[in-house]
Structure 1
Amino acid sequence: MLPADMVGGVSTARAANLEVTGEALSTFVKRVDGALSDLEGSPGNPKRVGAQTIKPGSLNSGSADAFPEAHALYLEYNRVHEKLTSLSKTLHLQIEAISIAVQGAHVGFDNLEEEQRRRFWAIQMQIEQVEGTADGKQRTEGNKTTGDL
């Protein structure tokens, strides 16, 4: 049996803390939109991170046998670069999804424009693809393997 001050499994004090006003959601949306805008204008932008590559010849003559340490450094740089690119894409997508979700929480997800709802689910699929690629796994849907973004 639940204590008298519990409502739906949550105490009334905690339930009051969970209540969200439209003003609080609007403020949060502005903060999320600001974070997304800052990310897009920063060196952490997924396109900018993805463009920061090096060529094998930058560290040696291109032959792994001539200077194996340089080749190992090149391979490690590329591995880390791929991870950073993946993290940057995921962060960008997550912030965009949060922005849509907060708007949906404010007006009701069913009351969002159809395009926003589609974009939200498309983002979820893109995140799964990015995370699957980052893990070195190909996620499959039915018999079809998902491709790049």
Structure 2
Amino acid sequence: MLPADMVGGASATRAANLKASNEALTTFQKRVDAVLRRLESSAGNPTRVGAQTIRAGSLNSGTQDAFPEAHALYLQYNHVHEKLTGLSKTLHLQIEAIGIAVQGAHRGFQNLEEEQRRRFWEIQTQIKQLQQSSSNEGHMGVPKTGAGY
């Protein structure tokens, strides 16, 4: 049997200890916003990372038979590039979601603007899609379906 002061699995004392101060949440929110701004202006921006590609012909004459090592290097570069692009996108989305979550912790998620709540869940969906896309790849970035480059 649960003690009388248990509310939703947490005692009233524990629930009071979980409440964050307005000042602490505001400070944390400012830090998250600053990190997001720095990421957006850095070389780690998902758009900038995604733009750093090479063509197969950059490493050889375009035929993989003439210089198979160069072709293997090209495949590996593309694999790493895709992973870095995905990680950059995920990081960007996670930081944005943390910012919304902090506001929700401060004001209550139900008190956020509808657009913020919608964006939070949109971010969660995007992250799941990125994770599923990543898990559908096999060794060296070749999709498990067998399709090659």
- Give unpaired runs (5+ residues) of structure 1: 138-149
1:7-50 CA-partner distances (Å, limit 9, x unpaired): 9667x69x74x441011000000000000000000000000000
Scaled by the length of structure 2, what TM-score is found? 0.81
Q: What residue is the counterpart of 1:77 in the other structure?
A: 77
Helix, strand or coil at the partner of 1:81: helix
Q: What does 1:1-149 align with in structure 2 at a 5 Å threshold? A: 16=17, 18-136=18-136
RMSD of aligned alpha carbons: 2.3
Distance 1:111 1:19, change over 3 A: closer
Give the aligned length: 134
1:144 is matched with none
For 1:88 and 1:35, locate their aligned partners in 2 and report how far apart those are by CA, in whole Å: 13
Using the alignment, how far apart are the partners of 1:34 and 1:133 within structure 2?
29
Rounded Cα–Cα distance in structure 2 between residues aligned with 1:134 and 1:48: 20
Q: 2:25 & 2:48 partners in 1: Cα distance?
A: 31
Counterpart AA for 1:25 = L
Distance 2:49 2:103 in 1: 29
Letter of the 1:59 counterpart: L
Tell me the distance in 2 between the aligned counterparts of 1:81 and 1:34. Answer: 26
Gap regions ≥5 residues in structure 2: 138-149
Identical columns (%): 71
Query: Which segments of structure 1 move beyond 4 Å, counting only runs of 4 or more?
Result: 7-10
Paired residue secondary structure (2:85): helix
